[in-house]
Chains A and B, each alone.
Chain A
């Protein structure tokens, strides 16, 4: 297992430190900075939220988790290089 993922906005480690928990944390917090970060990834915070609300399953959280993971990998690479 790699390093725990911390929130790219507030630096908090969500529960297990997994990307999906971080995504849940971002939706759960839902304040302006967290929304802005999601929107800045080319996603729409509110659309993801409505998608999560109106369809079975966990698609929105999973999609956001992918972006969070990529961001964490990018930051790790920057730190190394």
Chain B
């Protein structure tokens, strides 16, 4: 059973942080929610995509005449049916737009789309793929970044010397001088694997292009606004002529805010054939032909004083970018930034290199580069504490961020609850008592952003917008661009709206996921919506409430020194809450006063002067109790405790769900979700061979919620759902270190790595004359 404790519980909210069920819950559990997968339009065709079997090859010729002759096939599209636009989200940085979906010249990874078929059934479309002849000239390929930067490596993109796609550099302080002051320096190389986003709903799209030049697309994504803009770019259309509908989305995790083959190919086919075309990826396609968490090689050199004071850190990182940029350039920066978290480094230098290879492109995924950063950082810190004979929690605490701290040139920390996180985890460890001999505890700290201050998309709109409209019966229509992807965004927005207006949660109807009816918003990525979209909703609700209260003042005849408010649908003077009247009555009066026009409130949010990365940062410390079978090397997670500062929690149940979900994904990254490639081919693209944590393997996910107040967030809220993907892998690694004394430098940690580690350790101990392996906590 999970335990949920609140430290510093806050004030008298009526809706915020109360037990509000997901407002989409009934539709979802009764099967009424319509996902893209469920969309069926009249006269609709089904599309299938032919994919490259080669990791690197020139396309010499595509002959699809035989496919067209198959009964039931209506059309085929190749790169020649497109404008040939190299797409990417980087509208401000065109060099990084390097991916032409349906390329005409060459393919750069196994699974890259080369042609798409539309037929009257999915089966016929699938069959037709076998009738398309493609002549390839196979080129030499390269799969690992350290190979791809060699002088004689094959060139994957013209003009990118040594296949270096993007570089990022972060530096503050005098790093050399800071290392000079260090009394102990340690350096390590780490390898971090990729990870599949593994959304419950695979990539899916239904495109419907009509003769009036309008295109409607049902699509599973994290940002309908981005999709609208990107599709306009690749199809040569105006944004306003494209409508994206994404009402229900079965997960995103960072993998669904770029164009994918489903949306692009279905739109190209629909434009060509003037019929709706639906494409739904199979699970295998989702594995081999979307994108993945970025694999990284990390070199870390850290200098500390003997008392554990941090002096300097230097990191050099090579990422396996795969064939295209995707969101990898941002992941490359963020991994370097969060590698410093949550600590104060007098000298810090990071050099990141994203390298093209002939593998599946890598991109953003929940944590956005931070899980890799923490895997390396938090393990090395644990090893340093052990090397110096220091308490790892005390050493972390001594060097941690605090409220008001400035990460030089990067960020100002306006709220920070990490100190209390240490206390809570210490209590949890103490409560465990003596552990059985096959169990140990590992810890890891981290922090994360609350939305990015990045405008690669060059949007002229506010980052978030919301419109609140009040109906005559007091019900409220909330139109938001924030995207519900299963994380509970609609509920969170409804809670903020209800709290601000002073009404009940059931008074709010949320409209999201439709570009024709909702205001633009950058969408669900980088843990931005609670803070950014939440601020827009709060502002819109305040605007509407102000209009209502103006009428209330005029009606009341009160002395102007009194303030009016609405709480729980009760309009009253704050000083005399018992004397008031019903909110519905006020709405009717206000309507009459406005000549029948509805009250409409507008809100928006764009961060200004908030540093380089994010307006606010969450903090956390996690402890994981691990059991290991020494004969098989198999890991079992027994228990966990996460002390977590997300500012003021807004959506209590949603927060718990997010924290548990993040843990399961992070645990998978730590010890299960391995993506082995051979000659550019993923060897386990299915849910039998690709292991994810199952419900039965989930340990209790206990939470100590440290409530702080973030001045930039709505009601003091900040990030909650993504940051907890960061610490778990390192915490598992640290538990193994404490149990056996082995230092594992590659994740995910596989049983054979543990067995090899034990073997090596036994050999070292024997050589050193010790008879017992490792040290135990």
**CB < 8 Å neighbour of A52 from B161, B301, B351, B409:** B351
Q: Is A63 an interface residue (CB 8 A)?
A: no
Whether A50 contacts B349 by the Cβ 8 Å rule is: no
Contacting B at CB under 8 A, from A18-37, are: 24, 27-28, 30-31
**CB < 8 Å neighbour of B171 from A24, A30, A31, A53:** A24
Whether B176 contacts A53 by the Cβ 8 Å rule is: no
Residues from chain B with a CB closer than 8 A to the CB of A27 are: 167, 169
Quote the shortest CB–CB distance from B376 to chain A (angstroms).
15
Whether A58 contacts B167 by the Cβ 8 Å rule is: no
Quote the shortest CB–CB distance from A5 to chain B (angstroms).
17
Provide the bound-state CA to CA distance between A8 and B470, in Å. 59
Whether B164 contacts A46 by the Cβ 8 Å rule is: yes
Whether B301 contacts A46 by the Cβ 8 Å rule is: no
Q: Is B387 an interface residue (CB 8 A)?
A: no
Quote the shortest CB–CB distance from B337 to chain A (angstroms).
15
Give the size range of A's interface with the partner.
10 to 19
Whether A58 contacts B349 by the Cβ 8 Å rule is: yes
Contacting A at CB under 8 A, from B150-175, are: 161-162, 164, 167-169, 171, 175
Q: Is B230 an interface residue (CB 8 A)?
A: no
Residues from chain B with a CB closer than 8 A to the CB of A53 are: 149, 316, 318, 351, 353
**CB < 8 Å neighbour of A49 from B167, B168, B171, B409:** B167
**CB < 8 Å neighbour of A46 from B95, B161, B169, B318:** B161
Give the size range of B's interface with the partner.
20 to 34
Which residue of chain B has the shortest Cβ distance to A23 in the bound complex? Answer: B169
Quote the shortest CB–CB distance from A68 to chain B (angstroms).
16
Provide the bound-state CA to CA distance between A28 and B352, in Å. 11
Provide the bound-state CA to CA distance between A49 and B316, in Å. 12
Residues from chain B with a CB closer than 8 A to the CB of A24 are: 169, 171
Residues from chain B with a CB closer than 8 A to the CB of A46 are: 161-162, 164
**CB < 8 Å neighbour of B162 from A28, A50, A58:** A50
Whether B169 contacts A28 by the Cβ 8 Å rule is: yes
Residues from chain A with a CB closer than 8 A to the CB of B314 are: 56-57
Which residue of chain B has the shortest Cβ distance to A52 in the bound complex? Answer: B351
Provide the bound-state CA to CA distance between A57 and B177, in Å. 12
Residues from chain A with a CB closer than 8 A to the CB of B316 are: 53-54, 56
Quote the shortest CB–CB distance from B347 to chain A (angstroms).
11
Whether A56 contacts B353 by the Cβ 8 Å rule is: no
Q: Is B187 an interface residue (CB 8 A)?
A: yes
Whether A58 contacts B175 by the Cβ 8 Å rule is: yes
Residues from chain A with a CB closer than 8 A to the CB of B167 are: 27-28, 30, 49
Provide the bound-state CA to CA distance between A8 and B149, in Å. 28
Provide the bound-state CA to CA distance between A14 and B222, in Å. 36
Residues from chain A with a CB closer than 8 A to the CB of B162 are: 46, 49-50
Quote the shortest CB–CB distance from A10 to chain B (angstroms).
15
Whether A31 contacts B95 by the Cβ 8 Å rule is: yes
Provide the bound-state CA to CA distance between A50 and B162, in Å. 9
Chain B 309-322, CB within 8 Å of chain A: the 1/0 string?
00000101010000
Provide the bound-state CA to CA distance between A58 and B348, in Å. 12
Which residue of chain A has the shortest Cβ distance to B149 in the bound complex? Answer: A50
Which residue of chain B has the shortest Cβ distance to A32 in the bound complex? Answer: B159
Whether A56 contacts B301 by the Cβ 8 Å rule is: yes
Residues from chain A with a CB closer than 8 A to the CB of B164 are: 46, 49
Chain B 447-465, CB within 8 Å of chain A: the 1/0 string?
0000000000000000000
Contacting A at CB under 8 A, from B463-508, are: none
Chain A 39-53, CB within 8 Å of chain B: the 1/0 string?
000000110011011
Residues from chain B with a CB closer than 8 A to the CB of A31 are: 95
Provide the bound-state CA to CA distance between A30 and B166, in Å. 9
Quote the shortest CB–CB distance from B460 to chain A (angstroms).
25
Which residue of chain A has the shortest Cβ distance to B353 in the bound complex? Answer: A53
Residues from chain A with a CB closer than 8 A to the CB of B299 are: 56
Residues from chain A with a CB closer than 8 A to the CB of B351 are: 52-53
Contacting A at CB under 8 A, from B124-172, are: 149, 161-162, 164, 167-169, 171
**CB < 8 Å neighbour of B176 from A15, A30, A54, A58:** A58
Provide the bound-state CA to CA distance between A49 and B162, in Å. 10
Provide the bound-state CA to CA distance between A58 and B351, in Å. 10
Most buried by A among B171, B349, B351: B351
Residues from chain B with a CB closer than 8 A to the CB of A57 are: 176, 314
Quote the shortest CB–CB distance from A35 to chain B (angstroms).
8
Provide the bound-state CA to CA distance between A20 and B620, in Å. 36
Which residue of chain B has the shortest Cβ distance to A62 in the bound complex? Answer: B176
Provide the bound-state CA to CA distance between A28 and B149, in Å. 18
Quote the shortest CB–CB distance from B96 to chain A (angstroms).
12
Provide the bound-state CA to CA distance between A76 and B187, in Å. 43
The 10 closest A-B pairs by CB, nearest first: A46-B161, A53-B353, A46-B162, A24-B169, A28-B169, A56-B301, A52-B351, A53-B316, A50-B149, A53-B351
Known: A57-B176, A58-B176. 18 other contacts (CB 8 A): A15-B409, A24-B169, A27-B167, A28-B168, A28-B169, A31-B95, A46-B161, A46-B162, A46-B164, A49-B162, A52-B351, A53-B318, A53-B351, A53-B353, A54-B316, A56-B301, A57-B314, A58-B175
